[in-house]
Structure 1
Amino acid sequence: MEIPEERARRGRPRWRRLAVVLLVLAVLFLPPWWMLFASGVDWPFPVFVGGTVVFGGWLVSFPFLMIAGHGRRQDDRAARVADTSLGVIWVLFTWSVLGGLVDLVLIGLDVGGSGRARAVAGAVAVVSAGLLAWGHHEAMRVPRVKRMEVHVLRLGPGLDGTRVVVMADTHYGPIDRADWSARVTEVVNALDPDVVVHAGDIADGTPGRRREQSAPLGTVRARLAKVYVTGNHEYGGEAQGWLDRMAELGWEPLHNRHVVVERGGDALVLAGVDDVTAEHSGLAGHRADLGGALTGADPDQPVLLVAHQPKYVPQAAAAGIDLQISGHTHGGQIWPFNFLVRVDQPVVHGLSRHGERTQLYTSRGTGFWGPPFRIFAPSEITLLTLRSSGTTARS
C-alpha cells in the first residue's frame, strides 16, 4: 500500500512542471496584453475589457489545445490551432518587448506626447501582423534552392562535381502538405542530383498518419544514392517505422551504417548515424554509433556523414570525417529564436569548419516545425557541388 508521503513525493514533479508551464505562458502573454491594451493606450473601457477577455481566453485554452493536439489524442485540428497560436504569441511577445523599449526611449526623449503609447501599440500590432502574414507565406511555399560548392580534400577527381541535394526537417504534420511535398520532389529531381540526403525530422507523427504526405519521396531520383537518417522527432513517432517507410520508398536508411558510391574510379563513403536523442528513446539498437556506421569502410576514402544535429560534429571531427550534413536548427525559424538555438548548437546554418579536415553544412530545413511561420529564417533545398583538391570552395 502506498503511504501518503510517497504519493506526495511522486506528485511534486508534476506540480513543478505545471508551475513552469504557467510561468512561461504568463511571460509570453503578459507583455503583448500590456502593450496593446494596458500601457497607457487609454482605449475606451469596452475595448480594454474585450481585449483582456480575448487574451485571457487564449491563455487558458492554449495548454488544453496543445495537450489535445500533441498528447495521446493527436488531434490534428487542435494541433493546427495550438501551433499557430504559439507562433502568433511568440511574434507578439518579441515585438511587444521591443516596442516597450522604444516606448521607454521616447519617454526619455520626451517625444510623442499623449498619443505616444497608442502609436507604439499600433506599430507593434501592424509589424506583428505583417511579419506573421509574410512568415506564413515563407513557411508554406516551396523552398528556394541554395547552391554552394564545397571543397573536399580527399575527394578523387572521378567524383569532382558530384551533386548532393540536401533535404531536412520536412516535418510532415497536422497541416496536410501532400501537394507541397510533391512540388518539393519536383524541384529536387530538376536539380539532377547524384546523391539526395534527407537529414532527419521527416515528420511529426507516425508513418501511418503521414503516409500521404511522405509518398512523394518515393518519386525522388538520384544517380548514385538516396540516403536518410532519423531526427529527434522520429523518436516521438515510431523511428523504426520511419526507417522501414523510407526503405519502402526506395531510400537507403543509414541506421548507423554506410554505403559506398563510385564514379570515375573513385569512391565516396556515405555514412549515417541515429539522432543523438535515440539512446534515450528506449528502442533497442537505436543510438548514435559512428564507429558502427564506419565499420568496414576504407579509412583512406572520403566520408560524407549525415547526422541530424550539428552538435554531433565534435565526434565527426575526432573521427576525421570530411563533411557532415545536418539540419535540426531551422535557422531559428522565427526570429529571434536563432539566438536561443545557438546556445544548444555550434552552428545555426551554413558551412563551417571544425578542425583541420572536417566541414559541417547545416541546413535551415525544407519545412517547418509547429508554428506555420518562418521569419528571417527561410527554408531551403540545398545543392552542394563537391569539388576535389585543386578547386576552391565558394557559395
Structure 2
Amino acid sequence: MTDTSSTRTTEGEAQVPRRSRLHRVIRYIPLIAPILLWAVPCWVLLYTGQRWSLPVMLLGTALFAFGLVGMPFAMARGHGRRQQDRAAIVGDTLLGTSWILFTWSVLLGVLLRLALTVAAVGGSQDRARIVAWAVLGVSAIMIGWGYAEARRVPRVRRLDVQLPRLGAGLDGLRVVLITDTHYGPLDRARWSARVCERVNTLEADLVCHTGDIADGTAQRRRAQAAPLGTVRATRARVYVTGNHEYYSEAQGWVDLMDELGWEPLRNRHLLLERGGDTLVVAGVDDVTAESSGLAGHRAHLAGALSGADPELPVLLLAHQPKFVDRAAADGIDLQLSGHTHGGQIWPFHHLVRLDQPALAGLSRHGTRTLLYTSRGTGFWGPPFRVFAPSEITLLILRSPHTPTSPSTGRTDTST
C-alpha cells in the first residue's frame, strides 16, 4: 500500500456549513421540548377522563413533575461543564423515556381513542382507561426492547456494491464499516471488545471508522476505545473525525487512533493496490471541523485527493451524509458515512431527514456517486434504539469487469 498525503490547501474551498432547516428548528427545542415531552403523556394518562383515585393522581403527577424538572437538571450536570457521568446517565435515560412516552401518548391517544369511539366501545371513562393502559403497556415494551437493542452487539449487514470504475483486480474487496460508537457515560468497554471480535470474524481487507468515537475526551474514554487496537485488516484501518470529536478535544482522538494503529485520514488519502488495480481511499474532517477553531481542522476534499490519479476510483470517508453534495460534484465513486443513527428512536428519523440527504443504506447521488449511510454501531445519549437497529457493515466491492460480479446493492443481514 502506498501512503500519500498533502498539506496544500485551497483558499475558500472549505465552507462553513450552511444552516439547515433542522438547525433552525433546534434553536427552539430546548425551550419547549421538556414541557411537551412530559406534559402530553401526563395529560393523556391522568387527565383525559380516567377518574383515577386521588393517590394515583397525586403520585402520577409527582412522577411527571420529577421528570420535567429532573431531566434538564441531570443533563446539564452530565453534559455541561461538570461532565458527571452518573447525572448524564439519568438525564439521557429520562430523555429517551419521555420521548417514547410522548410518541405513544400522541399516537394511541388519538388513533386508539378514535377507533374505540367509532366502535362504540364502553363509555368515555372506559375508553380513556383503555388508552392509558395501552400507552403504558406499549411504552414499557418499547423501552425494554429499545434498551436491549441499544446494548447488544450489532448484527452484520452485508452489501455487494458494484463500482463501474473498479478494476477486476479489486473485485471482492472486503470493506468493514463501523461508526458512531459513542463510548460515553455508560461503561461499554466489554461491549467494545465484543464488537471488535465480531469485526475480526469478517476477514476485512479495509476497516473504516467514520467518526463519533465517543462522548468525552480520549483520556476519559480511553479504556472503552482501547479494543479498537485489536481490530484486524489485511490492508488498512482508517478513521475520520465526526462532529462529536469536536465537542471533546478532537486532536486527542486523532492521536489516540494513531496510537491504536489506525490511519487518521485527515484530508489525505491512501492507495490500495491489488491484482494490478488501485483504489484511492480518502477521508475528510467532519463538516463542523472548521467552526471548531482547531488549527488545521476542516473538511478539505481537494487536499484529500491531491496527487491522486483522477482516473482511479475513489472511496471517501466523510462522517455526515450531507457531504455527498461535494463528493458528487467531484465524481467520487463511493462515500461511506454515519451520523444519522437511522433516527435511533422512532419517529425521530423525520427530523433527521430535514438535515441529511439519506437516513440509512445505499443511495445514488448524481451520475456516478454512491453513498452508504450506516445506522451506527453504538448509540448516542438515551440508551435505546427503537425501529433503528445498530449495525456493523460489510461491503463487498464488485467490479463490472469480472463475469461473476453481482448487481449493485444486494443486501444480506446476518447475526
TM (norm. structure 1) is: 0.94
Query: Quick check: 384-393 or 347-356, which moved more?
Result: 384-393
Q: Distance in 1 between matches of 2:158 and 2:335?
A: 17
Is residue 36 of structure 2 the alignment partner of residue 27 of structure 1? yes
Is residue 73 of structure 2 the alignment partner of residue 48 of structure 1? no
Q: Distance in 1 between matches of 2:315 and 2:94?
A: 39
Q: Cα distance, 1:57 vs. partner?
A: 1.7
Greater helix share, 1 or 2? 1
Query: Which residue in the other structure is 2:194 paired with?
Result: 183
Provide Cα deviations, 1:130-189, integer angstroms capped at 9, x if missing partner. Answer: 011001000000000000000011111111000000000000000000000000000001
Query: Which residue in the other structure is 1:210 paired with?
Result: 221
Gaps of 5+ in 2: 1-25
* Equivalent position amino acid for 2:250 in 1: A
Q: Distance in 1 between matches of 2:287 and 2:365?
A: 19
Query: Which residue in the other structure is 1:10 paired with?
Result: none
* Equivalent position amino acid for 2:381 in 1: G
Query: Which residue in the other structure is 1:369 paired with?
Result: 380
Query: Which residue in the other structure is 1:143 paired with?
Result: 154
* Equivalent position amino acid for 2:275 in 1: G
Counterpart secondary structure, 1:210: helix
Q: 2:75 aligns with which of 52, 66, 89?
A: 66
Q: Cα distance, 1:21 vs. partner?
A: 2.7
Counterpart secondary structure, 2:194: helix
Question: How many residues end up aligned between the 2 structures?
Answer: 379
Query: Quick check: 93-102 or 20-29, which moved more?
Result: 20-29
Query: Quick check: 374-383 or 111-120, which moved more?
Result: 111-120
Q: 2:361 aligns with which of 350, 355, 359?
A: 350
Q: 2:346 aligns with which of 317, 332, 335?
A: 335
Q: Cα distance, 1:330 vs. partner?
A: 0.4
Q: 1:318 aligns with which of 329, 338, 349?
A: 329
Query: Which residue in the other structure is 1:247 paired with?
Result: 258
Q: 2:392 aligns with which of 381, 384, 392?
A: 381
Query: Quick check: 223-232 or 105-114, which moved more?
Result: 105-114
Q: Cα distance, 1:270 vs. partner?
A: 0.6
Q: Distance in 2 between matches of 1:85 and 1:290?
A: 40
Q: Cα distance, 1:37 vs. partner?
A: 1.2
Identity %: 65
Q: Cα distance, 1:35 vs. partner?
A: 1.3
Deviant stretches of 4+, over 4 Å: 17-20
Task: Output the aligned Cα RMSD.
Answer: 1.3
Q: How does 1:1-395 map to 2 (within 5 A)?
A: 21-101=30-110, 102-113=112-123, 114-390=125-401, 391=405, 392-393=407-408, 394-395=410-411
Query: Quick check: 205-214 or 275-284, which moved more?
Result: 275-284
TM (norm. structure 2) is: 0.89
Counterpart secondary structure, 1:209: helix
Gaps of 5+ in 1: 1-16
| Structure with greater contact order relative to length (CA < 8 Å, sep ≥ 6) | 2
Question: Cα–Cα, structure 1 residues 99 and 264, in superposed 2: closer, same or farther, change >3 Å?
Answer: same
